[in-house]
Amino acid sequence: MSKFTLTPILYNKLVGRGMVMVCSSPHCIYDTHGNHNDPSWDKAIVPKGYGQCPACGAKTEIAFFEHNEQKALQMAHDPKCQYRSKVNLVIPKCSTCGCIMGKEHIIYTQEVVSKHRKSNHYYYHAECYESMFLAETGEGSDKLFKKKKYKMRYAGSHGNGCVVMLPFDPRKGVCSACGKSTHVIGEDGKPEIKTTQIHHWKYAFHPDTVRKNPILILENTSELCFTCHQIADDLRSITKYSAERTVNVIKLIPKDLRERFAIVCSMFLKAMREDG
């Protein structure tokens, strides 16, 4: 399985290769369920998104971008133009102030999931694909593919925790603290970080409650890299006990470490004041 953002260029490439961009979900959320003989009615997967005007800040859906016939014909007849097929050139023009937007101002929002089985290719709206697995069984489940489930442990270190299975990966691959990502490649050709982990700041629910309603396992959590996760575990331990006991322990650390800790506390208080 692969997931990608559908852009007009990518859409044209896939269609040009003979791909049928129709959602294969048995219950596509975009299907209006009209009385049509065509089973693919209203299930087409098309690029979606908007342009954020750099001048006035207004949003214009890409479906309302203007077609510039004069410029398109000029490019089509220009022998120096490499892409003569741009006779259908669409200009990303703001519908409010008329400003021409660049590529950096256009945001595409339609996520697509592709699945390949032997010589067959199946495409899904990402939201349709996820909705097929909200229940383990039922008419909405996918008979062609089995979706991977993600295991999470809740309050396991206490001995009376539980393990639940989620129908989606709760991790995005980006550390909420330092911002490093598993998707960004560094100068050495390797990702900035190998993986991220879900950290629980506190366990607010009884394990039996989480077992009955698994989505509660994501409450009071942050996605962190390995190093930031270690810091978060230490902070959770500090805030777990009484302030008096914590201060008494801090007094015992060597002077140089005590000074470093004081600097961290002062920086934190300054950040809190700035955040209001």
> Given this model, what pLDDT does residue 84 score?
46
| pLDDT confidence tier of residue 224, bands split at 50, 70 and 90 | very high
On whether both 156 and 189 belong to a single domain, the answer is yes
Higher per-residue pLDDT: 243 or 67: 243
- pTM of the predicted model as reported, rounded to 2 decimal places: 0.50
Q: Which amino acid is at 4?
A: F
Q: Is position 140 within any domain?
A: no
Q: 234: domain range?
A: 150-240
Q: How many domains does the chain have?
A: 2
On whether both 62 and 11 belong to a single domain, the answer is yes
Q: Is position 162 within any domain?
A: yes
On whether both 109 and 159 belong to a single domain, the answer is no
On whether both 157 and 123 belong to a single domain, the answer is no
CB–CB of 125/28 below 8 Å?
A: yes
Mean pLDDT of the residues in the chain:
82
Q: pLDDT of 94-119, one tens digit each?
A: 989 989 898 889 999 999 998 887 77
- Range from 126-135, 190-199, 205-214 carrying the lowest mean pLDDT: 126-135
Higher per-residue pLDDT: 52 or 131: 52
Cα 133 from Cα 139, distance rounded (Å): 10
Helix (H, G, I), strand (E, B) or coil at 12: helix
On whether both 76 and 194 belong to a single domain, the answer is no
> Given this model, what pLDDT does residue 15 score?
86
